[in-house]
Structure 1
Amino acid sequence: MLEAKLEQAAILKRLLDAIKELVADANFECNEEGIQLQAMDNSHVALVAVQLKEEGFENYRCDRPMPLGVNLTSLTKVLKCAKDDDVCTLKAGGDNTDTLSLVYEARNTDRIAEYELKLMDIDSDKLGIPETDYDARVTLPSAEFSRIVRDLSQLGESVRIEVSKEGVRFTSEGEAANGSVLLKQSDAIGKVPKKEEDDDDDEEKEEKEDAEEDGDDDDEEKPKVKKEKKDKKKKVKKEDDDVEMDGDEEEEYKDKGSDDEGEEEQDDEDSPSKKRKRAASSKDKGKKKAKRSKDDEEDELPDGVRIEMNQSVNLTFSLKYLVNFSKSSSLSSVVQLMLSNDVPLLVSYEFGQGHIRYYLAPKIGDE
């Protein structure tokens, strides 16, 4: 019995969009650790390996290991019936061992849709992928990688990837035009010390704001003094003019004055609480700033290019496959390229629920 619940159907949609043009039929291997897929393209040049970890699901249950053989084109059609934010539940096993059930639950309505996909018997041997110590590892924004391979695919069919002390260079030579893109090591990755300085600056700003607010609160007493002086001037002026007031008018005047003073005293009483509220709000503001700076750190990570190299690498690959691999950029903002001479290229995308990895054999000679 398999029951796997994903918070968003968009994850499966993006996975299928990335691999459906490489692989037609494949087995989803389900076990207690999660769901894995491993398949090669028809020409046996590229290998795709997908893993959805058990902890990446909202609910996951798999009583026994089972393969789910599916046609990826048919599964893509069924997934198109779901909205991106629908909760998607996969069910298989039990009485209906020949079908895979997909249940879509809408978040804002009571709509529940259920579809069944017929399973296939697919004979496939799982390949053992040896652990390799790569000579070079390049980490870069997935959007940048997508743009490079897409642009160079307009010029030629192959791309030469060179990793050296200068950086990583992508070169394509076509019949009508040639193109080259060089990416150098960037310092945008790991700006933590600068962020810490920014946090210190924020704290100093907060202290200044608190000091200014204290000054503002002291200034609140000034209108009262001015008003008292004004009242005295009015009284003196009226005495000079020998203006006589009846007792009722005098009481009225006093009452108004006492009311004004009462209001002023009330404002003075409220000022400490206002001061505390302002101080608290400024602290909250500081917290929000700190939190935002932490998010900014995470957002800045993909903006740079990091190159780790033991020795220089120079390999040539088919652009058609790399363009297909780059479709996984919707799953992750960062991509890793791992290269060694005469070894298949590894293109890896890590995301919250697991990873998707592509292995592509290099071109040799004039092939």
Structure 2
Amino acid sequence: MLEAKLSEAGILKRLLDAIKELVSDANFECTEEGINLQAMDNSHVALVSVKLDAVGFKRYRCDRPMPLGVNLTSLTKVLKCAKDDDTCTLTAADDADVLSLTYEARNTDRIAEYEMKLMDIDTDTLGIPDTDYDARVTLPSSEFSRIVRDLSQLGESVRIEVSKDGVRFVSEGEAANGNILLRHTDTSGVNGKKGDSSKVKKEEDDGEDEAEANEEENEEEEDEDGEKKKKVKKEKVKKEAGEDVEMNGEEEEGDEEFKAESDGEEEQDQEESSTKKRKKAPSKSEKPAKKAKKGKSKDDDGDDAPDGVRIEMNQHVNLTFSLKYLVNFSKSASLSNVVQLMMSNDVPLLVSYDFNQGFIRYYLAPKIGDD
């Protein structure tokens, strides 16, 4: 039996919107590790690979591996009946020919149930070899969408060239040509050299350690001053207690003087403790700020948009692709803020989007010659 509950139905909606124009019918392969989909378009030029990890579901159960053959157009229509923030539960028996979808509203006052028929689809799972790509470009998915959309107005093909100057997108049409260059904007440097960024990180860590050491030193000095004052105070008390004064008036005066001195010292101690607190407060507020800043620079998870374009290049790459497919791929920008383009000469282009529940990857064969 399969039971998979997603916290938001909008994830499935955006996923299907990105692949429904490439693939009409596909098998969702369900295993205990998650749900996978792999399919090629009708012309066998592009391949799409989707993975939804089991840990990304609110609740997931799959007793044995089972394929769910669905028509993506029909599934899209059923998913349109759900709100984006509704929880979506997919259920199917082991040998069932029906997939059940249950939508629950956030306030649980609305529960909708739908069923769609499953199909028997004979497809061969293609083994995707691990490839060491010569160039990797990481950029905001919105920027990639804009580039391919703009260039698609001029021509049918785009030439993507990765060099030491950056990544260049060139489209040549009958009436107009387009040329867009994106330069490397990350401090790590071209060819994936991250010496500058690691140096900055090291300097930040050194500065942070030095600040902590100074703070501990100040605290120790303040503690030593406090202990000295307490010791002086005790000596005064012992000295005044050891003196025998016969006159009552003098005793009262001594008591009043001791009381005044002790009150003054207590006020001084309170002022010092408040000063100590004021000194500690900024250091506590500064540490999380530095850590947050470091965490923000990590954009490998794909949840946050990078500051700019990152280029890692081992050698010069120059390939031509169909813009029609790249425009379809760019629809996955609704799933992730970051896109990665991985290229090698005479090897299909890999366009990868990573999101919280898993990933979606597209493989596109390059154009050869004038075709």
Q: Please give the range of the TM-score, normalised by the shorter of the 2 chains.
A: 0.7 to 0.9
- Given residue 82 of structure 2, which amino acid in structure 1 is its aligned partner? A
Deviations 1:214-260 (A, max 9, x none): xxxxxxxxxxxxxxxxxxxxxxxxxxxxxxxxxxxxxxxxxxxxxxx
The SS at the match of 1:162 is: strand
- Given residue 78 of structure 2, which amino acid in structure 1 is its aligned partner? V
1:49 Cα deviation after fit: 0.7
Structure 1, 350-359 or 129-138: larger mean CA deviation: 129-138
1:220-259 to structure 2, matched below 5 A, reads: none
1:292 Cα deviation after fit: 3.2
Distance 2:361 2:21 in 1: 15
Judged with a 3 Å threshold, the aligned counterparts in structure 2 of structure 1 residues 269 and 314 are, in CA distance, closer, same or farther, namely: closer
**Alignment partner, residue 342 of structure 2:** 338
Distance 2:276 2:83 in 1: 47
Distance 2:82 2:284 in 1: 40
Distance 1:192 1:114 in 2: 53
Judged with a 3 Å threshold, the aligned counterparts in structure 2 of structure 1 residues 171 and 280 are, in CA distance, closer, same or farther, namely: same
- Given residue 30 of structure 1, which amino acid in structure 2 is its aligned partner? C
Distance 2:150 2:36 in 1: 32
1:164 Cα deviation after fit: 2.0
**Alignment partner, residue 29 of structure 1:** 29
> Would you say how many aligned residue pairs link Structure 1 and Structure 2?
318
Judged with a 3 Å threshold, the aligned counterparts in structure 2 of structure 1 residues 273 and 289 are, in CA distance, closer, same or farther, namely: same
Judged with a 3 Å threshold, the aligned counterparts in structure 2 of structure 1 residues 197 and 104 are, in CA distance, closer, same or farther, namely: farther
- The alignment's C-alpha RMSD in Å is 3.2
Judged with a 3 Å threshold, the aligned counterparts in structure 2 of structure 1 residues 8 and 150 are, in CA distance, closer, same or farther, namely: same
Percent of pairs with identical residues: 73
Judged with a 3 Å threshold, the aligned counterparts in structure 2 of structure 1 residues 165 and 203 are, in CA distance, closer, same or farther, namely: closer
* 1:293 corresponds to 2:293: yes
Distance 1:119 1:180 in 2: 46
- Given residue 39 of structure 1, which amino acid in structure 2 is its aligned partner? A
**Alignment partner, residue 76 of structure 2:** 76
Scaled by the length of structure 1, the TM-score of the pair is: 0.75
- Given residue 47 of structure 2, which amino acid in structure 1 is its aligned partner? L
Scaled by the length of structure 2, the TM-score of the pair is: 0.74
Gaps of 5+ in 2: 189-193, 219-265
The SS at the match of 1:303 is: coil
1:1-367 to structure 2, matched below 5 A, reads: 1-94=1-94, 97-188=96-187, 191=197, 193-194=199-200, 278=278, 281-298=281-298, 302-367=306-371
Judged with a 3 Å threshold, the aligned counterparts in structure 2 of structure 1 residues 163 and 94 are, in CA distance, closer, same or farther, namely: closer
1:15 Cα deviation after fit: 0.8
Gaps of 5+ in 1: 212-265
1:330 Cα deviation after fit: 1.8
Distance 1:267 1:108 in 2: 56
Contact 2:163–2:316 (CA under 8 A) maintained in structure 1: yes
1:2 Cα deviation after fit: 0.5
**Alignment partner, residue 262 of structure 2:** none
Contact 2:160–2:318 (CA under 8 A) maintained in structure 1: yes
